[in-house]
Amino acid sequence: MKLRIARNGVVLGEWTRTELYPLLRASELFPSDYYWHEETSEWKRLADLPSGKSVLATPAQRHMLANHGLPYDEFTTKYQVSKLMESRPCTNRQRSFMDDLGIVHFDGMTAKEASDLIDAELAKDTSDGPATPKQIAIARALAAACKLELVISSPTRREAASEIQALRCVAGLSR
């Protein structure tokens, strides 16, 4: 049996129940869209069907969005949650870690972009280069806080990052 699907009063087409799930997952149809077939007397939301319910954000995901101050409603999908979470700005902690690693970052960077850069650096998928001025400044400040003499002799970004982490441990500081 085919279901007639509509959005904003416009009929989008007719699909079987088994055809709906992939369309919902791909966000071509939404749980907030309406469906109708011969056996129903009124239009109902796709969210009322099992395939519509299966793509809705879980209570935990909605709670997470609320904690981050991100918008959602009863029809927010799991896919939309992942996109919203990826689009939030990178954290100060990520910025600090990127500074330690000598990774250049920019205003407007998302948490996902920062995470990808950090992961690539930790996996050593990026080329190494000379330590950045910011890394050297961080290492000097940490060494001074520990009352240690810092000898800098052309370290690489990765060597400076290791030195910064060691100094943070000695100083008992975390990011």
* Whole-angstrom Cα Rg for the chain: 25
**Domain span including residue 138:** 89-175
Please give the tally of structural domains in the chain.
3
Q: 159-167 — which CB contacts under 8 Å span 24+ positions? A: 159/131, 160/102, 160/131, 160/132, 160/135, 160/136, 161/100, 161/101, 161/102, 161/135, 163/139, 164/100, 164/135, 164/138, 164/139, 165/100, 167/139, 167/142, 167/143
pTM of this prediction?
0.59
Say whether both 94 and 15 belong to one domain. Answer: no
β-strand partners of 36: 4
Say whether both 98 and 119 belong to one domain. Answer: yes
Say whether both 48 and 80 belong to one domain. Answer: no
Say whether both 156 and 99 belong to one domain. Answer: yes
- Sheet containing 2-7: order of strands: 10-16, 2-7, 34-36, 44-45
Write down the pLDDT at residue 146.
87
Write down the pLDDT at residue 94.
94
Q: Which two tokens stand for residue 78?
A: 């799991």
What pLDDT tens digit does each residue of the chain (175 aa) get? 899 999 999 999 999 999 999 999 999 999 999 999 988 889 999 999 999 999 999 999 999 999 988 889 999 999 999 888 888 899 999 999 999 998 888 888 999 999 999 998 888 888 888 888 888 898 989 999 888 888 877 788 888 888 888 888 888 866 5
Write down the pLDDT at residue 11.
96
Say whether both 154 and 106 belong to one domain. Answer: yes
Say whether both 80 and 121 belong to one domain. Answer: no
Say whether both 146 and 174 belong to one domain. Answer: yes
Say whether both 113 and 66 belong to one domain. Answer: no
